[in-house]
Structure 1
Amino acid sequence: MHLAHDSVMNVDELQWFVVLAETQHMTDAAERVNIAQPTLSRALKRLERQVGAPLFDRVNHRLRLNNCGGIMLEHSRRGLAEIHAAAERIAALRDPDSGTVRLAFLHSMASSFVPDALRRFRVDAAQVRFELQQAAGHEIIELLGNGQVDLAITGPRPNGHDFGWHELLTERLCLVVPQDHRLARRRRVDLAETGDESFIALGEHFALRQITDALWAAEDIRPAVVFEASEIATVEGLVAAGLGIAVVPVPPPHRCEPMAVYVALSNPQAKRPIGLAWPQRRAMSAPAERFAAFLKSTR
């Protein structure tokens, strides 16, 4: 069975065919879909011409669905269901009161900032769903660029012109040291005082590591990085074990490593801007636009 190359199947006519296949009665089917019987008869002839085979056997002026018709019915139902599902998904994209927002964010935003923002947003938008992903900054930008997420809470600002940006907050950086370290009792430390220390840091491709490298360079420090990790929690754990010191974002009190001490840095540039990023060249869904507007208005 070959579909004519110049044929275009009409969705309405496929729906009419399904009703006709279910009733196997031309008059009853025409009444159910609210069209004239001759219109339905012509639509059936067009469909049979398009697929190249009769879909019904005519027996004593009655219709009987044949094997070809059974195949057509199966695929018509499946196709109409897909079209209906697509229409529902498109409607959800255009409805700011429902649908799904795909949001990526830094691990350090997971314990307080993101939950608090979602709680406040859902007071007036309880039907909007969220798909959440935690990742490192460079991974977040890749997700955003590939269209795998709609919005991202990350920092610092992505390079280039492919992403929009709205700063939400500034994360202060601090020095984390073992409990018995010589700087553990200090209230504030200048990074210049740490030139002889062993450091634990994130890998060089992490945005926070690049900020830390810039801080070291500004103080003419060539740090001895003895361990590299992929998560801040791992860095803090290694510090607590006495394996070195590290520069990390100031954590909320409930997330502090209990066996380490966090000391403020006096360096003015010891900070990381955190903001909302979005793709400039791709339209956002209505719920994503609504959440972005909410974040911009409250920060």
Structure 2
Amino acid sequence: MNVTDLRWFVVLAETEHLTEAAATLQTSQPNLSRSLRRVEEAFGTRLFEREHRGLRLNPYGRIVLEGARAAAGAVESAQQRIDALLDPESGTVRLAFLHSVATGVVPDLLTAFRQSAPSIRFALREQPSHDLVRDLESGEAELGITGPRPDKDTFGWHLLERQRLCLYVPPGHALAGRDRVRLAEAADEPFIALRPDFGFRRVTDELCRAAGFTPAVAFESTDLTTIDRLVGAGLGVAVLPGGAVRGTESGASGVPLAGVRARRDIGLAWCLHRQLSPAAERFRSFVRAW
């Protein structure tokens, strides 16, 4: 017994006539009879009483009809949802992205894409880099905006932007307004940083280590805007990507860090061994041309 058998059973139960049901289903009477036999064998009992004018649903058949209608409706609903997801014009893109690009790259990309594909929806996931990579591998996310580039043998990659890293300082700070600053010059400052489980926190720690010091972290946050505002309030300094925080009036200013390592590559990643949905493929093609 399969889903088609249940659907055919519903039609037969509603018409209680083999010839009429076969005509409705556009199949032959022998095919419909074999289908009914499979359903009855699956339930272990006859579901119709045979009469000279046709068939009459018996009490067992009425129970099966109730379940078959529900099952057929559930399958039809699932098919409709899958069809919608697979539609390149109105499907859903499962996109994961780093917290640190939530106010910059992501809204810019989505705004531009929706001008050409307004009916496509997005299921967004904002998460640390290690969770993002895990979700790409499992298929929970189809595409991810992350940095640095994940394992090239497992993931495809398209560079979106190369971000200059900056030291954000409070208003009136001695380092404010400089063209460049060496991170070692902030060695004695309290730092406002992301929590240790965030990928960009590791970037900050590695830069400080390369500059010869361990930062004295005064506060750890999960949100770049919060960090920006705490810096603006004079609680410390922070290493952030230039332009990562928008639309705030904290007064904090970013001074570009000196050195070739003071940058971060942000790109679109996808699993090479997993097929993208049509909507996700359309978004990836758009990003590559963006």
Query: TM-score scaled by structure 1?
Result: 0.85
2:282 to 281, 284, 290: 290
Contact 1:156 1:207 in 2 (8 A): no
Q: RMSD of the TM alignment (CA)?
A: 2.5
Contact 1:191 1:267 in 2 (8 A): no
Structure 1 unpaired stretches of 5+? 1-8
Once the two structures are overlaid, the 10-residue window that deviates more, 60-69 or 83-92, is 83-92
Deviation of the 1:59 alpha carbon: 4.7
Aligned counterparts of 1:284 and 1:87: Cα–Cα separation in 2: 18
Alignment-derived partner of residue 280 in structure 1: 272
Deviation of the 1:43 alpha carbon: 3.3
User: CA deviation digits over 1:194-240, x for unaligned, max 9?
Assistant: 22222222222322122222222222223222222222222222222
Contact 2:157 2:270 in 1 (8 A): yes
Q: Is the alpha carbon distance of 1:186 and 1:11 closer, same or farther for their aligned partners in structure 2, counting shifts above 3 Å?
A: closer
Q: Is the alpha carbon distance of 1:268 and 1:54 closer, same or farther for their aligned partners in structure 2, counting shifts above 3 Å?
A: same
Structure 2 unpaired stretches of 5+? none
Alignment-derived partner of residue 32 in structure 2: 40
The number of aligned residues is 290
Contact 2:96 2:127 in 1 (8 A): yes
Contact 2:180 2:256 in 1 (8 A): yes
User: CA deviation digits over 1:139-196, x for unaligned, max 9?
Assistant: 3223323322111111112247432222110111111112132223434322122222
1:49 to 29, 32, 41: 41
- The residue type equivalent to 1:204 in the other structure is P
Alignment-derived partner of residue 145 in structure 1: 137
Q: Is the alpha carbon distance of 1:172 and 1:187 closer, same or farther for their aligned partners in structure 2, counting shifts above 3 Å?
A: same
Aligned counterparts of 2:91 and 2:274: Cα–Cα separation in 1: 17
Aligned counterparts of 1:124 and 1:180: Cα–Cα separation in 2: 44
Q: Is the alpha carbon distance of 1:255 and 1:173 closer, same or farther for their aligned partners in structure 2, counting shifts above 3 Å?
A: farther
Alignment-derived partner of residue 195 in structure 1: 187
Secondary structure class of the residue paired with 1:251: coil
1:135 aligns with 2:136: no
Aligned counterparts of 2:202 and 2:244: Cα–Cα separation in 1: 23
User: Sequence identity, in percent?
Assistant: 49
Deviation of the 1:72 alpha carbon: 1.6
1:98 aligns with 2:60: no
- The residue type equivalent to 1:278 in the other structure is W
Aligned counterparts of 1:132 and 1:39: Cα–Cα separation in 2: 47
